Structure 1
């Protein structure tokens, strides 16, 4: 129990530190979201008098007349109420609404792509590691080269070949614009069709890392006593590979997979930008371009909570899977 209590306390402190950085970092950036709104108002012929500016400052929580400490305490109080503020990028929409609209797109796309790349990488890594020295082992460098390819370059290649040249898939977007978003077969099919190339980009870029990691762990595990004992007992090769070698070799990959799930909510900014995909990455880029403090803080908050939550789950599961991690606690 002491082990779990210490872990929980550590992550609560880490969450507080992340929230504090989340508040101060956007305010250290050049520019001001109020200036952005005032410029938009002037372009539309609106009056840019001091009272309007004051109203925007109060609305966005960037009142320069209040001490920074007071703004910080108001920020924490707003988080406790679930109030993430108002977005400048899509004014006057609430930040929580903007995130709730974009987050499902990213979770589905990046989540499925991450799961597929993990399963493919671990499965292939298990077979390649078990048959080290074979022709399969010589293919590993080719997959690791793909992991070093920049996301945007690979995405552009896929667009040029499969979208522009062959016209098998759409060039950009998350769904057919003539459809109304909803939980119906036609819209889901359109969203899946538009998500093929972005997902393929993520899978191709990340599968090599999972494969290489699992392959190396399999090679290391095969020399362990319990694997040698299982072979000496005359057990089938397939059973030794899956039940003894792969079962222990996959533990670091499982930990890495759980942590990577935490980054799913952050999406792939570059991939979403290339494909004009309506995910959280596009919203984050839009927030940075418009000095949208509230939206940036809201997105970073969701990412932080997801990553810390994934790490906490990994630590707790490791305490259950491997009791040695609790030794001394």
Structure 2
């Protein structure tokens, strides 16, 4: 197991270095730079002197140094958590902007992803245990229908109906911004939970169907395997057969899917956060795109890439613990 773990760790460290390097190279190989875009916007309304132009370009990443020296400086900045200055939230550093939104996203999207996974996999086990029966005949088509609905449409329908027309829930923001300031007290926390209900329900409704169908299909395949039939012939209990034989093997693809989903949690649920103006990373990314904030976009791309790699590494490690064949094949 230790050898398997070290091999996978080496692979993901190399992949992380490649992601960091590409994140450095791609913006510099593209025509123009963030500073140039800002200067062009300023020149539409005012005069920009050459000294001011050079200062702006240097402030937002422009440099005349050789590429290798820029790369060394870039790695040094990353080591110190320095992603530059955000233009959309000027003069706030990008690291502070991301820090202000990441905990909102981890709380909302991370929690809802785990809830959707547990519910979807659990219901998929029940549906796949007896395919074609009443529960499966209802759950599978319903999951397919809900999963096919456009995500943003579900969010807007809930917002218009439950928040706008009925007034049961707030329609935007992560808390009552008019009367509260962020603090861990008896007023702020209930407000956060109340504002998170609609975004959370939207994310769960949009993703639970995929987990259910995936687990159902794998259960149908697994329960027909010889080792499951042998367990039944030995007279083992249905519960033991489902948990230790069928579900244990059928869940392996879902574990991989969960790892990818958890990796993308850091990126937030873009559509849900934009529709509800939820102050998470997804909404920050939307603001960075609309404001052409290159520094913030570049930092978010890198963080999401590294998060996906870290989540996949964890999934590979769990795979090795659950299924010894994974350790033997690598």
TM-score, length of structure 1 as denominator length = 0.91
Partner Cα distance (1:27, 1:284) in 2: 20
> How far 1:305 sits from its partner (Å)?
1.3
Q: Secondary structure at the match of 2:167?
A: coil
> How far 1:35 sits from its partner (Å)?
4.5
State how 1:69-148 maps to structure 2 within 5 Å.
69-139=68-138, 140-148=140-148
Partner Cα distance (2:164, 2:106) in 1: 27
Native 8 Å contact 2:259 2:308 kept in 1? no
After superposition, what is the alpha-carbon deviation per residue over 1:247-287, rounded to whole angstroms, capped at 9, x for unaligned? 22222212221221111001111111111111111111222
After superposition, what is the alpha-carbon deviation per residue over 1:225-251, rounded to whole angstroms, capped at 9, x for unaligned? 332233333333333323332222222
Q: Aligned Cα RMSD in Å?
A: 2.2
Higher deviation after alignment, 48-57 or 271-280: 48-57
Partner Cα distance (1:296, 1:236) in 2: 54
> How far 1:179 sits from its partner (Å)?
0.5
State how 1:13-92 maps to structure 2 within 5 Å.
13-27=14-28, 32-35=33-36, 37-38=38-39, 48-63=48-63, 65-92=64-91
1:8 corresponds to which residue?
9
Native 8 Å contact 2:277 2:283 kept in 1? yes
After superposition, what is the alpha-carbon deviation per residue over 1:276-329, rounded to whole angstroms, capped at 9, x for unaligned? 111111111222223322211211121111100011111122223222122255
1:180 corresponds to which residue?
181
Native 8 Å contact 1:32 1:291 kept in 2? no
Partner Cα distance (1:168, 1:287) in 2: 31
Q: Secondary structure at the match of 2:277?
A: coil
> How far 1:96 sits from its partner (Å)?
0.9
Matched, 1:224 2:203: no
After superposition, what is the alpha-carbon deviation per residue over 1:1-37, rounded to whole angstroms, capped at 9, x for unaligned? 4433332222122112211221233445666432454
Aligned length: 327
Unaligned residue ranges in structure 1 (runs of 5+) = none
TM-score, length of structure 2 as denominator length = 0.91
Native 8 Å contact 1:36 1:290 kept in 2? no
Unaligned residue ranges in structure 2 (runs of 5+) = none
Partner Cα distance (1:98, 1:166) in 2: 34
1:157 corresponds to which residue?
157
